[in-house]
Structure 1
Amino acid sequence: MRFLQPCAHGRGDGEEPEWPPSPLRVFQALVAAAAARWNERTRLEYAVPALEWLAKQPAPTVIASQGVPSGVKYRLYVPDNVADKVAKAWSGGNTSASIADSRTEKDVRPTHLIGKSDELPAVNYLYPIGDTDSEFATHKETLVTAARSVTHLGWGVDMVAGDARVLSEEEAANLTGERWRPAAGASTTQLRAPRAGTLNALAQKHEAFLNRLSADGFKPVPPLTVFDTVGYRRDTEPAAREWVAFRITSVDPDAPNPSFDTPAKCRDVAAWVRHATGEVCRNWPFPDFASFVHGHTESGSQTKGERADERFMYLPLPSIERRGDRGEHVGAIRRVLVAAPPGFGERIEWIRRRLPGQELVWDNRAQGLLNALPDSDWVLRRYTENAQTWSTVTPVIWPGHDDHNPEKAARLLRKAFVDAGFARAVVDAITELDWRPVGFRAGAELASRYALPDRLNGRRYHVRVRFAHPVRGPLAVGAGRYRGLGVFAAE
Structure 2
Amino acid sequence: MARHALTGQSPPRLTETIVFAETVHRALAELSNGSPVFTSCDRSHKPLQGHGHAHILCQSNRGQGQDGQGEITHITVYAPVGFRFPEQWALHRLKEIYDEKESGVQLALLGLGRPEDFGGTDQEKNECLLLAKSRSWISRTPFLPTRHPKVTRAGVPNRDARGLQIGSPEHDLGRLLRLAGFPDPADVEPVPCTSSGGRDVPWHAFIRRREKGQGKPAVDGAGYGFRIRFAEPVQGPVAVGYGGHFGMGGFEADEIDNIAGIPHDRYG
1:296 equivalent in alignment to 2:48:
no
Which protein has the larger Cα radius of gyration, Structure 1 or Structure 2? 1
Structure 1 SS opposite 2:181: coil
1:360 equivalent in alignment to 2:97:
yes
Match of residue 108 from structure 2:
371
Contact 1:359 1:369 in 2 (8 A): yes
Q: Residue 346 of structure 1: which of 51, 74, 84 is its match?
A: 84
Q: CA deviation at 1:440?
A: 5.3
Letter in 1 for 2:41: H
Q: Residue 2 of structure 2: which of 234, 244, 248 is its match?
A: 244
Contact 1:440 1:463 in 2 (8 A): no
Contact 1:319 1:330 in 2 (8 A): no
Structure 2 SS opposite 1:338: strand
Alignment of structure 1 residues 398-413 onto 2, 5 Å? 398-403=145-150, 406-408=164-166, 409=168, 410-413=170-173
* Greater relative CO, 1 or 2 (CA 8 Å, sep 6+): 2
Match of residue 310 from structure 1:
52
Letter in 1 for 2:176: A
Which 5+ residue runs of structure 1 have no aligned equivalent?
1-242, 251-256
Measure, in 1, the Cα distance between the counterparts of 2:30 and 2:73: 21
Match of residue 72 from structure 2:
333
Which 5+ residue runs of structure 2 have no aligned equivalent?
112-117, 152-156, 158-163, 255-268
Q: Residue 449 of structure 1: which of 188, 205, 208 is its match?
A: 205
Measure, in 1, the Cα distance between the counterparts of 2:62 and 2:181: 26
Match of residue 132 from structure 2:
385
Measure, in 1, the Cα distance between the counterparts of 2:64 and 2:100: 34
Contact 2:13 2:72 in 1 (8 A): yes
Alignment of structure 1 residues 6-25 onto 2, 5 Å? none
Q: CA deviation at 1:317?
A: 1.5
Match of residue 397 from structure 1:
144
Match of residue 26 from structure 1:
none
Q: CA deviation at 1:350?
A: 4.2
Identical residues among aligned pairs (%): 20
Alignment of structure 1 residues 118-129 onto 2, 5 Å? none
Q: CA deviation at 1:380?
A: 3.9
Match of residue 265 from structure 2:
none
Residues 401 and 444 from structure 1, CA distance in 2 versus in 1: closer, same or farther, beyond 3 angstroms?
A: farther
Q: CA deviation at 1:400?
A: 0.7
Q: Residue 431 of structure 1: which of 172, 180, 186 is its match?
A: 186
Q: With structure 1 as the length reference, what TM-score do the two structures score?
A: 0.41
Measure, in 2, the Cα distance between the counterparts of 1:484 and 1:398: 14
Contact 2:58 2:75 in 1 (8 A): yes
Residues 432 and 441 from structure 1, CA distance in 2 versus in 1: closer, same or farther, beyond 3 angstroms?
A: farther
Measure, in 2, the Cα distance between the counterparts of 1:351 and 1:418: 31
Measure, in 1, the Cα distance between the counterparts of 2:173 and 2:194: 16
Q: CA deviation at 1:414?
A: 0.7
Contact 2:22 2:246 in 1 (8 A): yes
1:416 equivalent in alignment to 2:176:
yes
Residues 387 and 316 from structure 1, CA distance in 2 versus in 1: closer, same or farther, beyond 3 angstroms?
A: same
Residues 480 and 330 from structure 1, CA distance in 2 versus in 1: closer, same or farther, beyond 3 angstroms?
A: farther
Measure, in 2, the Cα distance between the counterparts of 1:449 and 1:323: 19
Measure, in 1, the Cα distance between the counterparts of 2:245 and 2:76: 11
Q: Residue 26 of structure 2: which of 265, 275, 278 is its match?
A: 275
What are the Cα deviations for residues 120-165 of structure 1, in whole angstroms up to 9, with x where unaligned? xxxxxxxxxxxxxxxxxxxxxxxxxxxxxxxxxxxxxxxxxxxxxx
Alignment of structure 1 residues 480-491 onto 2, 5 Å? 480-491=243-254
What are the Cα deviations for residues 77-136 of structure 1, in whole angstroms up to 9, with x where unaligned? xxxxxxxxxxxxxxxxxxxxxxxxxxxxxxxxxxxxxxxxxxxxxxxxxxxxxxxxxxxx
Measure, in 2, the Cα distance between the counterparts of 1:350 and 1:262: 27
Structure 2 SS opposite 1:445: strand
Q: CA deviation at 1:353?
A: 3.1
Measure, in 2, the Cα distance between the counterparts of 1:279 and 1:364: 19
Structure 2 SS opposite 1:296: coil
Contact 1:433 1:464 in 2 (8 A): yes
Q: CA deviation at 1:419?
A: 2.6
Measure, in 1, the Cα distance between the counterparts of 2:200 and 2:55: 21
Residues 367 and 421 from structure 1, CA distance in 2 versus in 1: closer, same or farther, beyond 3 angstroms?
A: farther
Letter in 1 for 2:82: F
Contact 1:277 1:351 in 2 (8 A): yes
Measure, in 2, the Cα distance between the counterparts of 1:371 and 1:362: 18
Measure, in 1, the Cα distance between the counterparts of 2:224 and 2:110: 29
Contact 1:476 1:486 in 2 (8 A): yes
- Runs of 4+ deviating beyond 6 Å: none
Residues 299 and 361 from structure 1, CA distance in 2 versus in 1: closer, same or farther, beyond 3 angstroms?
A: farther
Aligned residues: 221
Letter in 1 for 2:252: A
Letter in 2 for 1:344: G
Match of residue 263 from structure 2:
none
